[in-house]
Amino acid sequence: MMATSVEDCVFCNPSGETVIWSDARCRVLQVTDAGFAGFCRVVWNEHVTELSDLDERDRNHVMRVVAAVERSLRSLLSPHKMNVASLGNQTPHLHWHVIPRYRDDSHYPNPIWAAPQREASKRTLPGDYVAKLRTAIESALG
């Protein structure tokens, strides 16, 4: 793990991350600056660029974590839909966006990267949310 670390990569040189859950291969971060309550990021620790750079075992692992985060967010926040994406055009270090979506959010039904449709709804997270999400992810991972 961490065989390679790229000097100017924000995921190789993390700063100010809120880590909700982690293991030796990947970590789950809370994304707080996006205006989408509950937005999480699943970051592969090693600097690889594409999903297809992982071998089968690692791919199954990261997707197991992504699915556990998705299931936990659905359970805690009851979104209308979940969005999952690995883009990385700006930061080519494998990471998954896991985003709860609501009919009244700023961009619904469009992707969060499209033009906004309306003002963001005032949606707040439950009390003790990070601890609850961590527990839910651990439970979903079994």
83 sits near a second copy (criterion: CB under 8 A): yes
User: Two tokens at 138?
Assistant: 């651990």
Burial label, 9 (beta-carbon count in 10 A; 0-12, 13-18, 19+): middle
Q: Would you give the binding string for a second copy spanning residues 21-60, x where CB under 8 A is met? A: ----------------------------xxxx-x-x--xx
Query: Torsions phi, psi of 138, nearest 5?
Result: -60, -40
Whose structure tokens read 């700063």? 15
Question: What is the C-alpha separation between 136 and 75, in angstroms, rounded?
Answer: 8
State which residue, 34 or 87, has the beta carbon closest to a second copy.
87
Near a second copy by CB under 8 A: residue from 10, 12, 48, 63? 63
Q: How far is the CB of 70 from a second copy (least distance, A)?
A: 4
19 sits near a second copy (criterion: CB under 8 A): no
115 sits near a second copy (criterion: CB under 8 A): yes
